[in-house]
Amino acid sequence: MTHPTTNRYRDLFPEKAVAGYLNGASRAPQLKAVAAAARHALWWREAHPGMPVDKFFGDVEDIKNLFARLINCPESGRIAMTSSASYGVATVAKNLPLRKGQNVIVVEAQFPSNYYSWDVLCKEKEAELRIVKRPAADAGGTWSDRVLAAIDEHTAAVAIAHLHWADGTLYDLAAIRRRTDEVDAWLIVDATQSLGAYPFDVQKIRPDALVAGGYKWLMGPYGCGYAYLGERMDGGKPIEENWINRAGSDDFRNLVNYRSDYRALAGRYSVGEHSNFIMAPMQVAALQQVVAISPEVVQAHCAGLWAGIAPQLQELDVALKKDRAHHLVGLALPDSIDADRFAREVEARGLMLSYRGDSVRVSPNVYNVAEEMSALTAALAAASK
C-alpha cells in the first residue's frame, strides 16, 4: 500500500496507530488527546499526594453530561458509570421482573456480554431464553422481522444490540420498541458497537436500558463503560453497595454516618471506584472528541469510503448487505476467493481487520482514507481463484 493521504481527523491520532487500521470494532486507536490526558493525570497524581473531594465527582459529572449529550438524553442523572457492557447488562438483569414461563429474546450469535446474564437469569427463573436465528441469504424478510415475530404476550424483555457485532446487521429498534410496548416488555440495547459511530436518540427509541463499553467507538480506555437507565430502573437494586453511590457521599466528614438512601436516578448503579483518577480524564477527552466529530460525520465519511470501492467489490462478487451501517461491515467471501490467501494478502498490505464467524469484519472510521480501502480490494483480487 502506498503512503496514504491524510484528512483532518487522521491527524488526531498517531499515524502508526491508524495506518491500515480497519478494525475499530475491535478497539479504537488511541487519540492523542486521550494519551495527553493520561499523562497529565499521572503528573497530577505525582504532584499531589492527597485527593480533593471535587476530584471524585468533577470529571464524573463531565463524563455523564457528555454521554447524555451523545444519546440526546435530557437527564445526565440517568447515566451510570460502569466497568463494561456486561456490568450494565448484569445490573439490568438483576432488576428485570422475570417470572416463570416468560421469555427473554436475544438474537443468534449475540455478543456474549449480552447473552450470559440472560441465560443465567432464565435458568434461575424457569423462563425461556428465546434465540432468534439469522435469516438465510435467500429467505424473505429481515432479521428484525424475525425478532418482531418472536415477541409475544409472554415476552418480558428483548435484549439486543443496535447492530450485530459480527456482520453489522442493523436492527429496527423503533419497530421493536413499538412491539415491546404492546406486550409491556422491556427493551435493553447493547450499543457498544454503535455509540459514537452511529446516531442514537433515547427520546426516540425509549429503551428501558442502554449499555455500552467505552473502548471501541467511544474512544476511551479499556475498562470503562456507560449505561442509560430508564424509569423502570428507578428505585432498583444495584449490583454492589459502594460508598460513593449513596446520597451525601460528597460529604466526607459524615461518611461514618451510614445512609440507606442512594444518589438520584441512576446514581445508585455506578461501579465502585468509577472516579478512577487516571481513566476519568481520559474518558472526558475521548467523549469530547467523539461528540465534536459526531456519529453523523462518521457515517458519512465511511459511506464515502465504501462508495469508492463499490465497483471493485461488485466485480469480485462481494456483496454488501443493505440493512447495515457503514462503520462496521461484515463481508461474506464468495467461493471464488480463497479465504486463507486473502488473510495473507491483507497482512502483506499492512491492513488490520477481524474475522468473526463466517464474516470478514471491516470497521473503518474517520481516520481511514481511500488508499486503505483500495488496498482491501487489491487483497480480495489477489486472493481470487
**Is the model's pLDDT at 1 over the cut of 80?**
no
* CA dihedral sign of residues 21, 22, 23, 28: positive
Residues 285, 204 share a domain: yes
Q: Which three cell numbers stand for residue 201?
A: 436518540
pLDDT of residue 54: 83
- The enclosing domain of 310 has a CATH number of 3.90.1150.10
pLDDT of residue 49: 84
- Kindly report the length of the chain: 385
Distance CA 107, CA 143 (A): 9
Residues 192, 55 share a domain: yes
Say if 34 falls within a structural domain. no
Residues 307, 235 share a domain: no
pLDDT class of 42 with cuts at 50, 70, 90 = very high
pLDDT of residue 56: 87
Q: Which three cell numbers stand for residue 215?
A: 473502548
Question: Angle of helix 295-315 relative to helix 370-382, nearest 10 degrees?
Answer: 30
From residue 273, give the alpha-carbon distance in Å to each of 57, 81, 270, 278.
11, 10, 9, 11
Side chain identity, residue 157: A
| Domain C-terminal end among 232, 267, 293 | 293
204 exposure class (CB count in 10 Å sphere: 0-12, 13-18, 19+): exposed
The predicted-structure confidence for 123-182, as pLDDT tens digits, reads as follows 999 999 999 999 987 777 899 999 999 999 999 999 999 999 999 999 999 999 999 999
Residues 16, 144 share a domain: no
Distance CA 232, CA 230 (A): 6
pLDDT of residue 124: 98
Q: Considering just the CA atoms, what is the radius of gyration of the chain in Å? A: 22
- The percentage of residues in the chain with a pLDDT greater than 90, rounded to a whole number, is 88
Q: Which three cell numbers stand for residue 99?
A: 417470572
Q: What average pLDDT does the segment 32-53 reach?
A: 92
Q: Which domain holds residue 317?
A: 10-25+294-382
Side chain identity, residue 159: A
- The enclosing domain of 288 has a CATH number of 3.40.640.10
Residues 253, 200 share a domain: yes
Residues 326, 216 share a domain: no
pLDDT of residue 58: 87
pLDDT of residue 384: 95
Higher pLDDT pick, 104 / 323: 104
**Is the model's pLDDT at 310 over the cut of 70?**
yes
pLDDT of residue 322: 82
pLDDT of residue 3: 55
Q: What is the DSSP letter of 337?
A: B
Distance CA 228, CA 79 (A): 5
List, in sequence order, every residue forming a beta bridge with 225; answer none if it has no partner.
82, 213
pLDDT of residue 82: 98
Q: Under a CB-based contact definition with an 8 Å cutoff, are residues 167 and 357 in contact?
A: yes
Strands (E), 50-185: 79-82, 103-107, 128-132, 155-161
**Is the model's pLDDT at 214 over the cut of 90?**
yes
Which residue carries 456474549 as its cell? Answer: 112
Q: Under a CB-based contact definition with an 8 Å cutoff, are residues 351 and 372 in contact?
A: yes
Residues 338, 242 share a domain: no
- The percentage of residues in the chain with a pLDDT greater than 70, rounded to a whole number, is 99
Distance CA 382, CA 154 (A): 52
φ and ψ of 193, to 5 deg: -95, 15
Side chain identity, residue 35: A
The predicted-structure confidence for 63-118, as pLDDT tens digits, reads as follows 999 999 999 999 999 999 999 999 999 999 999 999 999 999 999 999 999 999 99
pLDDT, averaged across the chain: 95
| Collapsed DSSP state (helix, strand, coil) of residue 28 | coil
Residues 209, 344 share a domain: no
pLDDT class of 356 with cuts at 50, 70, 90 = confident
Residues 235, 341 share a domain: no
| Domain C-terminal end among 293, 328, 359 | 293
Count of domains observed in the chain? 2
The predicted-structure confidence for 184-206, as pLDDT tens digits, reads as follows 999 999 999 999 999 999 999 99
Residues 255, 120 share a domain: yes
pLDDT of residue 4: 64
pLDDT of residue 321: 82
pLDDT of residue 52: 80
pLDDT of residue 320: 87
Residues 159, 255 share a domain: yes
Q: Under a CB-based contact definition with an 8 Å cutoff, are residues 76 and 65 in contact?
A: yes
**Is the model's pLDDT at 251 over the cut of 60?**
yes
pLDDT of residue 319: 87
Identify the weakest region by mean pLDDT among 51-65, 263-277, 290-304, 323-337.
51-65
